[in-house]
């Protein structure tokens, strides 16, 4: 499968970000903890320039804490401030606010010396569906930003005030202007950052099975009550899952699309285990 998105849209989005960056003090760079590396968009670096950034490994509840901490350490070793968050629960909100303020400590202090309270403005960026709007909502009492479990939910920009002295800019998720690295594209598709209409669900499910066969076969066996799959190829496993679940079309053929959708949905909901698709290579 060749995953392909619209470079024109992404280039335009990056141009818009280059305008917005001028009015903010810093950036909250949201990464999906299941595939942090793939969520790094090289084009963002140019946009961010020298503005301070806070990396947030979001959806941390979907991977083991041990793995997410390795990623946090990696970003910190690179000299960046980095934390992790489960933005659905509001438990990590105080840590996010604290880090945001610390990130802008010098600026706040400069204003303070002039007798002024600085309002810190941050742009929240990341690939589609990584949880930018949910993270913003976790910081406010009432839900302000629209969220949803598919890419492209946030369409325009929106400012949200957090208390009196923080303002966050929510914006649509952005993928890279190019999609040469198909392994990364596949992982982005698996975590739900790529629109379904440019992805072949059956092939995506086969990729997911391939990953679980290699890394965590027992989770596949337990979830779908399979027999021995050690010598099977992904397609055979997919067929066995279909038979176990009775996903047969009229005429007796297996309904590959339905099987694929179930596998992908189970993966995205974490029913196949809390595993990151990308591990820190130390
Ligand atoms: N398990 C879990 N799910 C999360 C977390 N944060 C967000 N989600 C879910 O991820 C999905 C996408 O969240 P959004 O906040 O809409 O993502 P977004 O980055 O704003 O997406 P776009 O606006 O489309 O770019 C929703 O179903 C959220 O409930 C988290 O920390 N943990
Ligand atoms: Mg959004």
Q: Which two tokens stand for residue 192?
A: 């739900």
Smallest-distance ligand from the CA of 130: 1
Smallest-distance ligand from the CA of 56: 1
Q: What is the pLDDT of the chain when averaged over all its residues?
A: 93
pLDDT at 156: 84
**For range 244-273, the mean pLDDT:** 94
Smallest-distance ligand from the CA of 30: 1
Ligand 1 neighbourhood includes 88 CB (under 6 angstroms) = yes
The answer to whether residues 64 and 273 touch, using CB atoms and an 8 Å cutoff, is no
What kind of architecture, by CATH, is found in domain 200-282?
Answer: Orthogonal Bundle (1.10)
CA dihedral for 241, 217, 186, 136, sign (positive or negative): positive
Ligand 1 neighbourhood includes 147 CB (under 6 angstroms) = yes
CA of 58 relative to ligand 1 center, distance in Å: 9
pLDDT at 257: 95
pLDDT at 101: 97
Q: Which two tokens stand for residue 67?
A: 């793995």
Q: Which two tokens stand for residue 179?
A: 């999609």
Q: Which atom of ligand 1 is nearest to the CA of 148?
A: 16
pLDDT in tens, 139-170: 998 888 999 999 889 888 899 999 889 999 99
**For range 243-255, the mean pLDDT:** 91
Task: Say whether pLDDT at 203 is over 70.
Answer: yes
CA of 221 relative to ligand 1 center, distance in Å: 29
Q: Which of 32, 134, 137, 154 to mutate to test the pocket of ligand 1 (most atoms within 8 A of CB)?
A: 134
Atom 13 of ligand 1, nearest CA residue: 131
Please tell me the distance from the alpha carbon of residue 199 to that of residue 204, in angstroms, as a whole number: 7
Residue among 151, 261, 148 at smallest CA distance from 205: 261
**For range 239-263, the mean pLDDT:** 94
Which CATH fold topology does 7-170 show? Answer: Rossmann fold (3.40.50)
The answer to whether residues 211 and 219 touch, using CB atoms and an 8 Å cutoff, is no
The answer to whether residues 149 and 143 touch, using CB atoms and an 8 Å cutoff, is no
Cα–Cα distances in Å, from 52 out to 94, 117, 164? 19, 19, 21
Helix (H) / strand (E) element for 83: namely strand 81-85
Confidence label for 175 from pLDDT (cuts 50, 70 and 90) = confident
Q: Where are the alpha helices (DSSP H) in 49-129?
A: 65-77, 93-103, 105-113
pLDDT at 11: 81
Ligand 1 neighbourhood includes 238 CB (under 6 angstroms) = no
pLDDT at 177: 58
Q: Can you state the percent helix, strand and coil of the chain, rounding each to 5?
A: 45, 15, 40
Please tell me the distance from the alpha carbon of residue 57 to that of residue 83, in angstroms, as a whole number: 6
Atom 2 of ligand 1, nearest CA residue: 59
- Tell me the backbone φ, ψ of residue 231, rounded to 5 degrees: -105, 15
Q: Which of 131, 169, 265 to mutate to test the pocket of ligand 1 (most atoms within 8 A of CB)?
A: 131
CA of 148 relative to ligand 1 center, distance in Å: 6
Percent of the chain with pLDDT over 70: 96
Smallest-distance ligand from the CA of 131: 1
Ligand 1 neighbourhood includes 62 CB (under 6 angstroms) = yes
Q: Which atom of ligand 1 is nearest to the CA of 147?
A: 16
pLDDT in tens, 41-60: 888 999 999 999 999 999 99
Task: Say whether pLDDT at 270 is over 70.
Answer: yes
Please tell me the distance from the alpha carbon of residue 244 to that of residue 262, in angstroms, as a whole number: 13
Question: Radius of gyration of the chain from Cα atoms?
Answer: 21
pLDDT in tens, 96-149: 999 999 999 999 999 999 999 999 999 999 999 999 999 999 999 888 899 999
pLDDT at 1: 66
Domain boundaries, the chain: 7-170, 200-282
pLDDT at 155: 87
């Amino acid at each position: 499968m060749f995953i392909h998105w619209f470079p024109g849209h992404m280039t335009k989005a990056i141009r818009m970000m280059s305008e917005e960056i001028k009015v903010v003090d810093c950036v909250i760079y949201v990464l999906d903890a299941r595939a942090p590396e793939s969520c790094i968009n090289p084009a963002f670096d140019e946009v961010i320039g020298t503005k301070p950034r806070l990396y947030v490994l979001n959806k941390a509840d979907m991977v083991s804490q041990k793995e997410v901490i390795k990623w946090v350490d990696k970003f910190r070793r690179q000299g960046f401030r980095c934390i992790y968050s489960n933005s659905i629960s509001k438990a990590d909100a105080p840590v996010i606010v604290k880090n945001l303020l610390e990130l802008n400590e010098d600026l706040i202090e400069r204003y303070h010396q002039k007798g002024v309270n600085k309002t810190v403005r941050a742009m929240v960026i990341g690939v589609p569906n990584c949880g930018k709007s949910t993270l913003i909502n976790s910081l406010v009492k009432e839900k302000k930003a629209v969220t949803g479990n598919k890419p492209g939910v946030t369409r325009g920009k929106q400012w949200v005030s957090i208390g009196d002295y923080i303002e966050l800019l929510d914006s649509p998720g952005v993928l890279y202007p190019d999609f040469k690295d198909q392994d990364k594209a596949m992982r982005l598709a698996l975590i739900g950052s790529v629109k379904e209409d440019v992805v072949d669900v059956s092939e995506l499910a086969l990729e997911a099975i391939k990953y679980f066969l290699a890394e965590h076969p027992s989770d596949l066996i337990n979830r779908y009550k399979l027999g021995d799959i050690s010598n099977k190829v992904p397609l055979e496993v997919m067929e066995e899952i279909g038979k176990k679940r009775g996903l047969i079309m009229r005429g007796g053929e297996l309904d590959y699309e339905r099987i694929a959708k179930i596998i992908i949905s189970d993966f995205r909901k974490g029913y196949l285990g809390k595993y990151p698709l990308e591990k820190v290579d130390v």
